[in-house]
Amino acid sequence: MPHGHHHHHHHDAEGGDGKLAAAVGVNMLLTVAQVIGGIVSGSLAMIADALHNFSDAASLVIAAAARRIARRPADDDMTFGYARAELVAALINLTTLIVIGLYLLYEAVFRLIEPEPVTGWLIIVIAAVALAVDLATAALTWAMSKDSVNIRAAFLHNLADAMGSLAVIVAGLLIMWFDWMWVDPVATLGIAGYILWMAFTEIGGVIRILMLGSPPDLAPDHVIATAEAVPGVKGMHHAHLWQLDEHRRMLEAHIVIAAGEWGEADAIKQAVKAEIEGVHGIGHVTLEMECAGHECPHARAVGH
Amino acid sequence: MSSETEFHIRGHGSHMPTSGRGMVISAWLTGVYFIIELGIGLWTGSIAVLSDAFHTFSAVGGILVAVGAARLSRRPADATFSFGWYRSEILGALVNGGFLAGMAFVVIYMAAMRLNAPIDLPTGPMLLAAAGGLVTEFISLGLIWKQSRSDMNVRGALWHIIQTFVGSLLIIVTALVIRFTGFLMIDPLLGMAFGFVLLWASWGILRDAARLLMEAAPSEIDLNSVIADLEALDGVHDAHHVHAWTLTSGRNVFSAHLRVGDGVDPQAVQRRAHRLLRRDHGFFFVTLQTETECLDESGAETIDITSGHQVGHV
């Protein structure tokens, strides 16, 4: 890296990879253990829960793989680099999370109508082991999830699982002690609601970036105003403001140089770039220069 | 520049599925058939029928996504989405691919569970489902066959229908094997096999959509030859910080810095470069920054493919 100042995701990237690998490993180990246990004991419940943990491991694998791919530099194929791999991974994980949430909703409603006494010590023990693994995974990924929507999506998967395991334990005990059958569907309903709410909150930002939307906290008008305040600039139009990833912002625009200033065009452009980077933190700016006599007629300020 | 601008505006016409009546009718047919097939699948408990129903669903989903995205992508650019809404199509494809993958896993899982405990299946309704499928697929094929030769989107839909066709054949084989030999395992076995076909199909969709969303260079464009063409233009010293990407299939975007010699009119260079990129290389939208000396863009080196061999770039 010639410049160390521009990115978060380089410091302790290795440590992060290690933690993610550990999280994947723990979930895979439990999956294998449950499959073997299920086959040996003939318990279908254990195999079903193995699938559960496998889906957790899969979402972690997607997140971790995307995180590694995202660090590759630009090449002839990906001229902006691979950073967006993390956004694609987040979209996939959030979409499957929404599907899981909808499925839980369906299950809960179904069981409210027709209660199914899923209980017994074996199921509670399986859930307790799964909960321990989920908590370990959460501890490993929590710190990283604050700064990355990709890791946050995998973390949410894991959180959904942890809450599910907890619900199985609590509901199982309450059914055995008090015969409260309604606890299980009601808890499932609550979890489904929470998961869907979180996933829909997160997915909006991801879709916005993938659809080349402008940064939510920066109106294009502000950037145009900043550029037009630079001496020698008559106007800015055809502005495209978008985000490469969660942290990097991009601008492409045409600027019109005031009449008589064309000789200074290079210096004016440099000043505009410095201003835009200084005020709005946009490091990647492409400006097409037009002299006042040849500007695009009736051009729109934003878009083209 | 005025002719350029007009070109821009005219260039915004819809390129989307051309589709028309053929696609819409086959979408309706397939949609109705999906509901019937899902019902039969749940009622009989046949994995083969269920997996074919899921596949039918993804075909309908693909058409719905194409139709919906065609509507959305007509929305003009605004302050939030300065490139317009073209990308909605790609997001739709990614979600559709994700659903298909999810359904593939469900089918494979169900088949694996069923291998443990095969159940007796009523073969009559299964054959009925398959027959209904064959009829729908033949009608759909007839409707879009002609169009599929010229339109890439429709060709995708055709491929989907052919897969469903194979699915219907699998159901017939399953039902006949059960009826004449009583070999119940055939249902989960063939169902699982088709699950892997679904997985493979979803992988293709996911890979293409992800490439586009990651701003991959269009596969039909050789970036190095574009750079060479730009550098061959009169007055251009070099082209650097080159980016080529795709808004949605068929709409390629290009941006670069051009270093021009002292005393060269940058406006003339831009006009020539725009013509080259738009006309010869088919780019939909181009932004070129001309300069007599290279500006240092701190922090942007990691996304500059020319920085490695660019003299004067630190």
pLDDT of residue B18: 43
Nearest residue on chain A to B117, judged by CA atoms? A44
Residue A286 contacts B, CB cutoff 8 Å = yes
Contact B82 A95 (CB under 8 A): no
User: CA A58, CA A109: separation in Å to the nearest integer?
Assistant: 27
pLDDT of residue A36: 85
Topology (CATH level 3) of domain B19-212: Alpha-lytic protease prodomain-like (1.20.1510)
pLDDT of residue A242: 92
Residue B302 contacts A, CB cutoff 8 Å = yes
For residue B301, what is the enclosing H or E element? none
pLDDT of residue A230: 92
Residues 56-75 of B with CB under 8 A from A: none
Three-class secondary structure of residue A283 per DSSP: coil
Hey, of A41, A71, A76, A79, which one would you mutate to test binding to chain B, going by the most B CBs within 10 A of its CB?
A79
Residue A171: partners with Cβ closer than 8 Å, 6 or more residues away? A119, A180, A183, A184, A187
Three-class secondary structure of residue B184 per DSSP: coil
Residue A1 burial class via C-beta count within 10 angstroms: exposed 0-12, middle 13-18, buried 19 and up: exposed
User: CA A210, CA A214: separation in Å to the nearest integer?
Assistant: 10
pLDDT of residue A119: 63
Which chain A residues are Cβ-neighbours of B295 within 8 angstroms?
269-270, 273
Contact B305 A74 (CB under 8 A): yes
pLDDT of residue B303: 66
> Cα(first)–Cα(last) distance of chain B, in Å?
34
CA atoms within 13 A on the CB side of B31: 11
User: CA B35, CA A267: separation in Å to the nearest integer?
Assistant: 65
Residue A167 contacts B, CB cutoff 8 Å = no
pLDDT of residue B61: 73
The sign of the torsion formed by the CA atoms of A269, A274, A279, A284 equals positive
The sign of the torsion formed by the CA atoms of A280, A282, A288, A289 equals positive
Residues 94-113 of B with CB under 8 A from A: 94-95, 98-99, 102, 109, 113
Say if residue B146's pLDDT is above 80: no
Contact A210 B91 (CB under 8 A): yes
Question: Distance from A257 to chain B by nearest Cα, in Å?
Answer: 12
Tokens of B139: 């009608």
pLDDT of residue B253: 92
Nearest residue on chain B to A2, judged by CA atoms? B301
Where are the domains positioned within chain B?
19-212, 221-301
Question: Distance from B79 to chain A by nearest Cα, in Å?
Answer: 6
Task: Give every strand in the sheet of A233-243, ordered side by side.
Answer: A233-243, A249-257, A284-291
pLDDT of residue B107: 81
Hey, of B3, B82, B223, which one would you mutate to test binding to chain A, going by the most A CBs within 10 A of its CB?
B82
B77 closest CB neighbour out of A284, A290, A304? A304
b/e sequence B188-197, b meaning 16+ C-beta within 10 Å: bbbbbebbeb
Locate the DSSP E strands across chain A: 233-243, 249-257, 284-291
Which chain B residues are Cβ-neighbours of A210 within 8 angstroms?
87, 90-91, 213
pLDDT of residue B2: 35
Nearest residue on chain A to B248, judged by CA atoms? A211
Residues 241-300 of B with CB under 8 A from A: 241-245, 247, 255-257, 266-267, 270, 285, 287-293, 295, 297-300
pLDDT of residue A86: 93
Phi/psi class of residue A120: alpha, beta or left (left: φ > 0; alpha: ψ in -120 to 50)?
A: left
DSSP line for B258-298: EEE-TT--HHHHHHHHHHIIIIIS--SEEEEEEESSPPP-T
Residue B274: partners with Cβ closer than 8 Å, 6 or more residues away? B4, B286, B288
Q: Please calculate the CA angle A228-B270-B9 and round it to the nearest 5 degrees.
A: 75
pLDDT of residue B8: 33
Residue A285: partners with Cβ closer than 8 Å, 6 or more residues away? A250, A251, A252, A253, A272, A273, A276, A277, B297
Say if residue B286's pLDDT is above 60: yes
Residue A217 contacts B, CB cutoff 8 Å = no
CB neighbourhood size of A204 (10 A): 11
Three-class secondary structure of residue A234 per DSSP: strand
pLDDT of residue B43: 84
Residue A107: partners with Cβ closer than 8 Å, 6 or more residues away? A185, A188
Three-class secondary structure of residue A73 per DSSP: coil
Tokens of A153: 């999506």
Domains defined along chain A, listed by start: 3-210 (1.20.1510.10), 220-294 (3.30.70.1350)
Residue A222 contacts B, CB cutoff 8 Å = no
pLDDT of residue B166: 82
pLDDT of residue B25: 78
Contact status, residue A116 vs residue A168, Cβ threshold 8 Å: no
pLDDT (mean) for B144-157? 63
Question: Distance from B76 to chain A by nearest Cα, in Å?
Answer: 9
Residue A304 contacts B, CB cutoff 8 Å = yes
Q: Where does the pLDDT of residue B9 fall: very low under 50, low under 70, confident under 90, or very high at 90 and above? A: very low
Tokens of A61: 């694998």
pLDDT of residue B47: 79
> Parallel, antiparallel, or unpaired for β A249-257 and A233-243?
antiparallel
Question: To the nearest whole number, what is the mean pLDDT of chain B?
Answer: 77
pLDDT of residue B283: 92
Tokens of B71: 């509507």
pTM above 0.80, yes or no: no
B304 closest CB neighbour out of A74, A85, A242? A74
Q: What's the pLDDT tens digit per position in B218-247? A: 888 888 899 999 998 888 888 888 999 988
Contact status, residue B109 vs residue B35, Cβ threshold 8 Å: no
Say if residue B150's pLDDT is above 70: no
Residue B306 contacts A, CB cutoff 8 Å = no
Task: For residue B302, give Cα distances in angstroms to A6, A161, A220, B83, B309.
Answer: 10, 38, 25, 24, 13
Q: Where does the pLDDT of residue B313 fall: very low under 50, low under 70, confident under 90, or very high at 90 and above? A: very low
b/e sequence A5-17, b meaning 16+ C-beta within 10 Å: ebbebeeeeeebe
Contact A295 B1 (CB under 8 A): yes
Nearest residue on chain A to B273, judged by CA atoms? A288
Would B19-212 and B221-301 be classified into the same CATH topology? Answer: no
Contact B210 A85 (CB under 8 A): yes
Per cent of chain B over pLDDT 70 is 79
- Strand-pairing partners, residue A125, are none
Q: What's the pLDDT tens digit per position in B207-219? A: 888 888 998 998 8
Instruction: Give the residue carrying structure tokens 């119940």.
Output: B184
Which chain A residues are Cβ-neighbours of B85 within 8 angstroms?
211
Residue segments in chain A with a per-residue pLDDT below the cut of 50:
1-11
Topology (CATH level 3) of domain B221-301: Alpha-Beta Plaits (3.30.70)
What amino acid occupies position B27? A
Which chain A residues are Cβ-neighbours of B3 within 8 angstroms?
none
Contact A220 B82 (CB under 8 A): yes
